[in-house]
Amino acid sequence: MKRIVLTLILLSVMLMPAPTATAAPTSGWTVRGNHVVRAGETLFCIGRAYGVDPWAIAAQNGIINVNLIHPNVTLAIPNMPATLPPGPICTPQFDQPVQQPPTCSACTCRYEHLIVTGDTLFKIASLYNVDMQAIANCNCLYNQNYIRIGDKLCIP
């Protein structure tokens, strides 16, 4: 009996039609243009170049892992404006407004903090009762999750 059931399951799988190729997924946004990925580019730097949500770029192009894109792949850039945190900006490949990188704010250090093992920007901000973004802006930190042991932070 088990053998018959297994045979029927195997036959039904074998007789299923092969999947057909479909066009790239779209999410209902209009496409502003196409961008060919260059080595070292990320969806976030591409998103900053056009002021577009990187998650929308991923959805528009059927990208599952936003941290994994390959050079020479052409991405459709959807019309999904977004304000992104500061960071690297890729060179735009079609005429669109570019979100300029924010300048670091000049600040007066009330304290100086030496980063040690286990420190996070959240912990440091809590320690000095200062906003994390204020510390990041004062120290030109583009990625609030990346601080290095041994560096000194100016605490405004």
Q: Which helix (H) or strand (E) holds 138?
A: helix 132-138
Share of the chain above pLDDT 70, in %: 76
23-101 CATH pick, 3.10.350, 3.30.1360, 3.30.479, 2.60.40: 3.10.350
The domain ranges of the chain are: 23-101, 111-155
pLDDT of residue 38: 92
Distances (CA, A) of 146 to 23, 120, 121, 151: 38, 8, 8, 11
Mean pLDDT of 62-74: 90
- Considering the chain, what is the average pLDDT of its residues? 79
* pLDDT value, residue 125: 93
Domains 23-101 and 111-155 share a fold: yes
Q: pLDDT at residue 148 above 70? A: yes
Check pLDDT > 70 for residue 89. yes
Which is more confident, 136 or 43?
43
Q: Which helix (H) or strand (E) is 134 found in, with range?
A: helix 132-138
Superfamily (CATH H level) for 111-155? LysM domain (3.10.350.10)
